[in-house]
Each structure stands twice: as C-alpha cells, then as structure tokens.
Copies of this chain bind each other. A is one copy, B any other.
Amino acid sequence: MPELSAREKIIPSIARVFRRFGYEAASLSLLSRETGLVRSSLYHFFPGGKEQMAAAVLDLAERHVREVFMQALVTADAPGRQVDKFIAKLTEYYEGGAIGCLLSSLTLHDCPPAIGARVANLTEQWIAAIAAYLAARGDAAAKAQTKAERAIRLIEGGLVLALATREPRRFEASLQDLRELLA
C-alpha cells in the first residue's frame, strides 16, 4: 500500500463535489469546504484551477474503472462470482444510487472542451473494457459491443432515475437487470 501524497488524499473529496454539483456549480468554496483547505491551498496543488482539478479527478476515475471495476470481472472471492463482485463494486462507488456519476455530471451540462473530450474517452474505455470481458466469455465482437453499451446505459439510466425520483432502490433494480445482461 503506497502512502498517498497530500495532493492525492484530497482528490476523492474533489471528485465527490464534481459528482454532486457538476463542473460549473462545483465552486471553489464548495471544494474548499469538502477538502478542508482554503482556496489558495487548492491552487498550490492545482495551479490550473478548477479545470486541472477536474482532470485529476478523471485520472483517478480512469484508474478506478481499470483497477476496481474491471479487476472485479477477472478476479472474485468465489468461482463464477465475477459479475456479483462487479455489481458490489458499482453499488459501493455509487453509494447505492445516492450519488451520481462523473460522466454524466461533467458532460450533461457545459464544461471546458478538454474535460468533455476526456469524459468521452473514459466512457469509450469503459465500454471497450466490458466488451472485452464479454468477448473473452464467448460473445461475438459485435454482440459484445452492443451488450457493453447496454450495460452502461443501464447504470447511467438507473442512476438518473434513482436521483430524479429520490428512490435509490431504483438503482438497485437497474443492477439486477445488469446482472442478467452480463450473466
């Protein structure tokens, strides 16, 4: 377990603010409150300001998709339980449908072009990773791609519905559909 730098330690807090408020509304005051650092201290770590903070958050999200979500699909505590583990990690990250997704948070509304491009890239990576898993399981390439896109839609649609109706259990229902899709 490598020790985290002061900079790395605050990135999850920053990520939470972006997920909750989106790019524009994630003000430095909110980021300051959530990280426990005053505004100018944030500029010490991120001279590029908000945009650099968002970029750092996306770096972490990219690693999370690779090292947590996709890793769950290749290793599991019990044999044949990869999908269960994947879904457990999703539930954990999205707090059971109580908090939104970076991908939608940052791109549903306007954000700097560079950030939007990175979100698009990360989303494609995620789809490709799920498609690769399905292909390794025996699906034909085209079928795997279609199912992977459907999987992401299930996750994102379930989150939107859960947040809009304030019924987190609707995200859980979405994950049940996801379980069937990937099984």
Q: Which residues of A are interface residues toward B (Cβ below 8 A)?
A: 20-25, 100-101, 103-105, 107-110, 116, 119-120, 123-124, 146, 149-150, 152-158, 160-161, 163-166, 170, 173-174, 177
Give chain A's interface secondary structure class. helix
Report whether A161 and B149 are in contact in the complex, using a CB–CB cutoff of 8 Å.
yes
Report whether A156 and B149 are in contact in the complex, using a CB–CB cutoff of 8 Å.
no
List chain B residues, Cβ under 8 A from A160: 101, 103-104, 108, 153, 156-157, 160
Report whether B108 and A100 are in contact in the complex, using a CB–CB cutoff of 8 Å.
yes
Closest to A157 in B: B157
List chain B residues, Cβ under 8 A from A20: 109-110
